[in-house]
Structure 1
Amino acid sequence: MAHESMPLFPLHQVLLPGAAMDLRVFERRYLDLVRDCGRSGGGFGICLILEGNEAGAPATPAAYGTEARIEDFDTGNDGLLTLRVRGHRRFHAIRTRVRDNGLVMADVEWLRADGEDVLRPEHALLGTLLQTMMEKTGTDLNGLPARIFEQAGWVGWRLAQILPITPEQRVSILQEDDVHARLQRLLEWID
């Protein structure tokens, strides 16, 4: 099976499919990464840091992550590049290597995309919970499709994004291919 090579941006947080994240970019290796993504139209991987720091020496990333695509960019008041990225496909990093400039590269295999599964009766409460949480935080729900809170994959990713769970728990959700198993795990953590 052929693997795709992709640059990684290890962080102390987890990007989930469909979620947005803001990044400040100042290290040369990541400025180069952004330039290369702009030229190729491609994305880069965001993985949780297992060992190390976000800046300085290359960190050891988790083996599972999410492809980030740049939606917007600007320069902050401090002159640093700021990015708005959104999570797309999940991946498993088969092997990693570090370039001379400190950028971590990974050979990745793409994980299965979610299907159109609807919430099972035992998880229906999670759709209601998510809708209530989003309403209470002032999220505008008018632009969302009418039945979005019945889609198992979407509900799972959004709950994993907003629930107060650890980054390690988010990675474990990221690794799970079965949308119903993801929802069951979230339900157990809520209890």
Structure 2
Amino acid sequence: MPETLPLFPLHAVLVPGGALDLRVFEPRYLDLVRECGRTGRGFGVCLIAQGREAGAPAMPVDCGTEAVIEDFGGGPDGLLQLRLRGQRRFGVLSTRVRDNGLVEAQVAWRAPDPADRLRPEHALLGEVLRRILEQVGDGGTRAPEERFDEAAWVGWRLAELLPLQPRQRQRLLEEDDPARRLDELLRLLS
């Protein structure tokens, strides 16, 4: 069954399990944050297909990620700062613009990733991820060892952490097969 999900189109891609810091200043997005606080629901983050992040409503691509607010506070400039965490992927079936300029979509949830193990040809990617996490100090020592053998988890963490262009990250987000996602990451690294 399709669900209605408010969207926050950006020039960035949020992947499942990934983190994204966001500054919020437009009234429509402040309304969105209040709505999420009242309902306990998340909202969708989609790459912008046409338009800008601020001003007139932007048209999103047709695949995004549900975001939940993990933390919030005021920044030094007085603007609301959010820390988002990516959850489920979704496909956009249709969109409409509310009176306040907020885009909302009818979405269908994409299937969860299968619990596949890393294939031998992707073992290098598990090691690359381990080294990146050691360098950035972002949970490399806290992540359980078995996570580095999970195809989907390794792929999403690399998609989040590697210096990719938004369109490259979007292609990874749209790929349903964790092994093909890892094949694409190998191609991008070489």
Give 3-state SS (helix, strand or coil) of 1:9's partner: strand
Name stretches of at least 5 consecutive residues in structure 1 with no aligned partner: none
CA contact (8 A) 2:134 2:141 kept: no
Q: Are residue 43 (structure 1) and residue 42 (structure 2) matched?
A: yes
1:63-102, Cα deviation, whole Å (9 max, x unpaired)? 1100000011111122211111100000000111111111
CA-CA distance at 1:104 after TM superposition? 0.3
Give 3-state SS (helix, strand or coil) of 2:116's partner: coil
After superposition, residues 68-147 of structure 1 pair within 5 angstroms as 68-147=67-146
Percent sequence identity over matched residues?
59
**Structure 2 CA distance, aligned partners of 1:31 and 1:139?**
29
Shifted more, 170-179 versus 136-145: the winner is 136-145
**Structure 2 CA distance, aligned partners of 1:186 and 1:92?**
22
**Structure 2 CA distance, aligned partners of 1:139 and 1:108?**
32
**Structure 1 CA distance, aligned partners of 2:47 and 2:110?**
17
CA contact (8 A) 2:151 2:178 kept: yes
Q: Are residue 24 (structure 1) and residue 23 (structure 2) matched?
A: yes
Give 3-state SS (helix, strand or coil) of 2:10's partner: coil
* TM-score, normalising length: structure 1: 0.96
CA-CA distance at 1:27 after TM superposition? 0.7
Aligned CA-pair RMSD: 1.0
What's the counterpart of residue 2 of structure 2?
Answer: 3
**Structure 1 CA distance, aligned partners of 2:169 and 2:10?**
13
Give 3-state SS (helix, strand or coil) of 2:87's partner: strand
**Structure 2 CA distance, aligned partners of 1:96 and 1:109?**
12
Residue type at the aligned position of 1:119 = L
Count of residue pairs brought into register by the alignment: 190
Residue type at the aligned position of 2:174 = Q
**Structure 2 CA distance, aligned partners of 1:71 and 1:133?**
23
What's the counterpart of residue 148 of structure 1?
Answer: 147
**Structure 1 CA distance, aligned partners of 2:60 and 2:180?**
24
CA-CA distance at 1:137 after TM superposition? 2.3
Residue type at the aligned position of 2:100 = N
Give 3-state SS (helix, strand or coil) of 1:100's partner: coil
